[in-house]
Structure 1
Amino acid sequence: PWGKPAARMRELILAMRAIWANWYEGQPLDFRGEFYTHTLMTPM
């Protein structure tokens, strides 16, 4: 779980940007990476 810290941090930032784009711009949430996957968001 401790390998590739820079890659994990970069992907975390990209995942958060995808979540924020869903919240503020209504874009569909479909983030799939090596470490994180976010595809489901409850309606707001």
Structure 2
Amino acid sequence: MYKCIKCGKTVAKLGEKIRCPYCGYRIFTKLRPQIVKRVIAR
């Protein structure tokens, strides 16, 4: 899942052309799961 920077819509899969189907913008951020990783400090 990717999120467009300009319009904020989420795109499930990008095709051959990396472009937002809603606004045509080319810059995306990859959405990550909301899992918190805990590390034991020594």
| TM-score (norm. length: structure 2) | 0.25
Which one has more relative contact order, counting CA pairs under 8 Å at least 6 apart? 2
Higher helix share: 1
| TM-score (norm. length: structure 1) | 0.24
- Answer with 1 or 2: which has the greater Rg: 2
